[in-house]
Every structure is written in C-alpha cells, then in structure tokens.
Structure 1
C-alpha cells in the first residue's frame, strides 16, 4: 500500500517536471526566431522598503543601488521604519538630506507591527496616485542597475500580467554550507521552475525581496497585512482570481540569506506555514482556480516531505520496489536536466563550457536533494503551525539589536 502511494506521488511529480521541461524546450525553440521588439517601459514606479533594526550601512547600500537604476520612468521610494530600536532612521535622514536622483519619503512607526505585511499596507497608503506599479524590495537587497527596467519591461508585455518577480541571487555564494546550499537552490531548480511557470503566467511565488505589482491589482485584491508570509499568499490569491504572474530572469537582485541552520530552520518553518496560508487564500477566492493550482502544491509537497534522497535508500530493502526505483531515478534525472537548462539561462553561467556546466549540474542537484532532506523538520512544523492555526510569529525577527530587517533573514523566495 505504501509503495503504491509513493509511486503515485513520485509519478505525478515526474509528470509536472516533464511538463516544465517541455515549456523549456518550447521556449528554446521560439528563442531561435529572435526576440520581439518592444519599447522600454516608462511608467511611474513606487518602491516600498519596510525595515526593522536593519544596520544602517546595509540599508544605505540598498538605497545607493536604487539611485543607480537606469530606469527611464519616474521612481518614488517609500521607506517605513517598522518600530526599529536602533538609529538607522537617523542615518537615513542624513542620507536623504543630500541631493538625490529619485523622490524619497521616510515614515517612522512608533511600534513594530510584528509582520512585514502590516508595514507594507502602511506604505501602500503613502504611494502617490501617479504610480502605475508598486515594487517591494527588502532592505538588505541590492538591485542590479538594470533590474527595475527589465522587470518592468516583462510586467508590461501583457495587460493580463499583474505581478512580476526578478532573479534573486544570494550574496553569500562562497560562504558556509548553509549559504552555499541556498545559492544552488535559488540559481538552479527554482530558476528552472519559475521560467516554465512564467510561460503560462502561473509563477507560484513572487519573492518578497524583489517583486512588482500593478497598482490597480493591489487596490482590487487588497494588501498583505493579514498574512505571515505575505508574498506567497498574495500571489495565490491573484492566481485564484485568474490573473497572470510572470518572471523576469534578467532582472537581478542580490540579497542576504540565512547563514546558520537555526536561522534557516526558522525561515523554512515560516515559509511552510505560508504555503498553508496561500492554499487557504486561493480556496476562499475560487475553488476551481485552486484546483488548477494543485500541481504546484503537489510538487512542493513531494520535494518538501518525500525528497528522492530520502526514498532511495529504502528501495534496496523493500521487495517489489523496482517500479518506484525507476520513478525515483527519472525524478532525479529530470531535475538534473532542468538544472542544466536553468544553469544555461543564468547570466553568470551562459558562457561556461559544457563540461563544467554538466559538472555543476550534478553537484547542484546533489546539493538540492540534500537541502530538501535538511528542511523536512522545518516544513513539517510549519504546516502543523498553519493547520492548527497557531499564533503567528515572524520567527526570524529579533526585537532588539541590529542585523534583522523586516524580512531578515531574507524572504528571497518561498520555493515553488
């Protein structure tokens, strides 16, 4: 009985991975025809940056990166100090006192709201009527100079697109084991999944570290304050309303990720609870659309709770498991191929030799499989938190001291 259940789960996961692979092949064939011409976007953009006890130099670096944006339209930046107990706002005011290219507004809250979504809702009330697009970035995220322009170009390609996210790359790619594992996660399998999802306008998560939303969609669907993991839940609510959400793979942002297993555990526990919030938000919006989103839930569930690295050792000891062994092997093979495609699309690796690319794909796949096993306890506890409706706690925030932003360790991307 157990083998049959595992075969169904892994088999469905293989079908989903196969469909994603087909979208990659289709995209590659279309790319040979040449890109379609499009005028660069020039709409007015509002950037919202909530922060909580962020070190002032980290936030100033993020603001300097915004100053260097080569965007053709107008940008306004709303900074919300979410009840910080350090002196970051003082340093921000000094920075703002100098002549700046874009328009800035700093709002200081007396008390911390406990969740990033609440600070974003306050910032939304300060956005000017002229803003056509609202962008959310984390206070420890650095945008590449062309990031905003490229993301806007993708978002405005289709009137049905209501949101877009960029490529999030962890800064600490050469750090410790935790940091390296996250780098492979964000630049490998997740990149491949998002690219395929974007082709049908069904990107399942727009990363809170760098995401764009049409202003009218935010006003229609509402903000983020009711959720613990606001980016995932808002995304699923938008998808359940039938809107398109896309991905700009050339819009690059560099961000800080957890650097210890303790921080990682807390982040992934919160993300897993966010998945429960997202499913509920979608179900309450449209049951039919929720059913159409179930493949992404299934894929996340298989990766989060039954990764192939966990299943494989048992196959040698269980009689009659040859069919499951084939499915597991196929699952890993599909992940390797998807990573190869993602690695080729990564701007940092497009000119890497084929042999080095294959070696990197094998290494990254092994790291991702190991990472999936490491995250199982946090995923399980997060789902229990959501199902039992336990009190919402940010988990990665600290009430005092520097080093923790309103999303730190960062909300880079809550998986598929």
Structure 2
C-alpha cells in the first residue's frame, strides 16, 4: 500500500516561496551590479596584461559569479522560516538499506545506532555485503542474533554501490526506503525527524536528504577542516535548495525515498555519482526533493589527502554524469531548474580559481596585484555574511537537538583560508575523469 501524501495537511503558501525567490534574486542582482561597477578599474588593469576576455573569465569566475551565489544564498537563508515538524499519529514502516564493502571496523556501530532509534513504526534493515574481503558479513550475522529487524544480503562478489542498493531494493517490505552509509552513526532521533519531515513536505515530494556531519573530526587536521565544510557549506546549500523545492542531491549516506518512485526511475544508476544522478532522475520526473536539517547522521570523513581528493573527484564527476544522463532537466519550468543552471557555472569557477586565483596569489606575494589584491577583498564580504548567518542557523539547530558546536578554531581557520586550494583543483580532476572516460569504481563517498 503506497502512502498518499496529498492527504497530509500542508499549511505553507506556495506563492510565498516564489516571492522569496524573487526577493533573493533581485537582492543578488543588486549586489552583482555593485560588484561589477566597483571592479571596473580591476578589469581595466588586468586587461592590460592578459587581454579583455581572459580578464572577464578570471574576474567573473573568482569574484562576480561567486558573489552573486553567496548573496542569493544569504538573502534566501534570511527568509527561510520552514514550519516545525509535527509528531505523526502513526509512523509508517521503513526499510533501511546499508550497502557495505569492507566495513568490518564500523558496521557494528552503525547497526547499534539504528537499534537505539526506538522508531515507533515497523523497521526493516537490510545490510548488503558487496563481496567484502574482511569480516563484515560475519559481524552482521552476529548482530542478527540481537536485532530481529536485521537481514543480511551477502553478495558473492563486489559489483559497486548502485548494484548493491538495487539488489537490496528488491527485498524491501515498506514504501519508504532509507539509505545509510555503513561507516556512520545516527543521532538518536534521526529516523523520526527524517520521516516526519518527509510526511510534512508537499505531496509531490519523493525524497528527502538528511543532514550529514563529520564524526571523526578530531582525528587530524584534514578532518577538522572538513567538519566546517559539512556544518557550514554543504548545510547552507541544501537548506537553500530545499527552500525552493529542489534539493539537487539526496545523498546516499542518509536520505529517504519513495519506493515506487525509485522503481519508476529505474533505481540507482550504475555510475560514479549514483546518488546525484538518481536525484536528478526524480527531479526530471517532476517530483520534489527536500532536506531535513535536523535529521543528523555522523559519518567518517576522509583522513588522508589522497582519499579526500578522490572523494571530491567522484562528486564532481557525478555532476557531469547527471547533466549527460538528464539534459532535458534544463528546460523544466520549475524553481529547481535555476540551481541546475547554477551548477553549469562550477567548472568555470573551479578553472578560474585553480589557474587564476592561485597563480594570482603567488604573484601578490611578490608585489604584483594584477589578479589578487585589495579589490578581491572588497568584492567578497558576502562570503563572510553567509558564513555568519549559516553558523547562527546551524547553532540553533544543534541546541534544539542538545548538541554542541565543537570548538575547532584551527579547522575553521584552515576551512576559510586553504580549503578551496584542495577542493577546486580536485573538482577539475573529476571533470577530466568524465571527459577522458577513466575507469569508474565505487571509490569513497
């Protein structure tokens, strides 16, 4: 029996969402016009050295377009007043799919965190062991003695995360399907919050992304830095996109889906960015994808530079895969299409930063302020405003969940100053992977 979301009361006024979009768009355009006006001397001086078109490419890629994005996000988040979730009279049954490959070190903790949820509805958990070479399957079999809701699907050989999830989907007993990474830990009310948000969202919602936070932030400098990326950057993007009814990635680490919609779009595609391509398939089918900002899952972030770069390569490649597989989404007349076009600018921004800003910073160290100088600082205050705004929003959410924002000043400083020097070159490698058609592997999340 499928869930009829149209019967669920929704008190939101949809026109107000469009009005908020218009206000944020006008505000961002005003900021952008001011940025263009104030950067005229910068444009003229840089054109003298590298030519007009190259100057436009660099200045717009380094400052003007990011300034528009930051200001649009800031105006949007200031107006984001989503209704509180309400307890349900009865909670629907859910199936949790956990794809696992060599996760012996963490799978037990993940299952324990699910067991501590006390979810009021029926619960089915399927761990799909994707040909692991370690003790993953044995640990899950031992856990079955304690958890009656636990099922093990033991695949004989590794075939990738998408294949594992699709095999698990065949065994689902409920109409709501949740994916959880095998090296993660759920906040004690994460499942309840996620289901309540899904049921409260507009009737055409078919997926809702949960909130991903870093679990191992104390491990080293890299994980300390990533803690702020998840807490500020990724969280702000999902919250903003959800406001306009088009979250672009229901990440595989923790999201809820309608089973029938999954079947309709063919399940998880066999590609590197299976979660983003699946999300775009749902959007292309006319459905809405939301975000639950207080359904928290703590995951292990990459602990080495090599693994981090591989992760961000995969994410960037997944975006290109989504454009290739769903080009018609660009002509869908809906608010979420705005953010699809937004993503088209990312290769430009990443190239301008990597091959413009980084060399410009080196030149500035030797007294040559052609690319990076005082004008760069003048054009970027919106980034600070956005960070401060999102910090206050996320801190209030943490307080509601009885969590504390960890004092991680070193990580914050590195996130602000150095993070893009890793992130954007890694993204370029991801674009090149798809252009050159390099071998696709499960890799890291």
Q: TM (normalized to structure 2)? A: 0.77
Distance in 2 (alpha carbons) for counterparts of 1:303 and 1:257: 25
Over 3 Å counting, the alpha-carbon distance change for 1:349 and 1:45 in structure 2 is closer
TM-score (norm 1): 0.82
Match of 2:119 among 67, 71, 82: 71
> Is the aligned partner of 1:213 residue 2:247?
no
Distance of aligned partners of 1:221 and 1:349 in 2 relative to their CA distance in 1, 3 Å threshold: closer
Match runs of 1:115-194 below 5 Å: 115-128=160-173, 131-157=174-200, 158-194=202-238
Which residue number corresponds to residue 102 of structure 2?
A: 53
Match of 2:78 in 1: 25
Structure of greater relative contact order (alpha carbons < 8 Å, 6+ residues apart): 1
Displacement after TM superposition at 1:16 (Å) = 2.3
Distance 1:299-1:26 versus aligned 2 partners, 3 A rule: farther
Offset from partner CA, 1:140-192 (integer Å, 9 cap, x none): 11111100111111112221211111111111222212111211110112211
Equivalent residue for 1:406?
none
Secondary structure of the corresponding residue to residue 235 of structure 1: helix
State the Cα RMSD in Å: 2.9
Answer with 1 or 2: which has the greater Rg: 2
* Structure 1, 359-368 or 140-149: larger mean CA deviation: 359-368
Kept after mapping to 1: 8 A contact 2:86/2:196:
no
Give 1 or 2: higher helix fraction.
2
For structure 1, the 5+ residue unaligned runs are 352-356, 397-408, 412-416
Q: 2:68 aligns with which of 5, 15, 39?
A: 15
Given that residues 210 and 293 in structure 2 are in contact (C-alpha distance below 8 angstroms), is that contact kept between their aligned partners in structure 1? yes
Aligned length: 378
Is contact 2:330-2:341 (8 Å) kept?
no
User: In structure 2, how many angstroms separate the alpha carbons of the residues matched to 1:304 and 1:149?
Assistant: 38
1:321-342 Cα deviation digits (max 9, x unpaired): 69x96466433x2222222222
SS at match of 1:165: strand
Q: Secondary structure at the match of 2:326?
A: helix
Aligned to 1:4: 56
What is the Cα deviation at residue 41 of structure 1?
A: 6.5
For structure 2, the residue ranges without an aligned partner over 5 or more in a row are 1-52, 400-404
Please give the alpha-carbon distance, in whole angstroms, between the structure 2 residues aligned to 1:11 and 1:300. 13
- How far apart are 1:240 and its partner, in Å? 2.7
Alpha carbons 1:11, 1:327 under 8 Å: kept: no
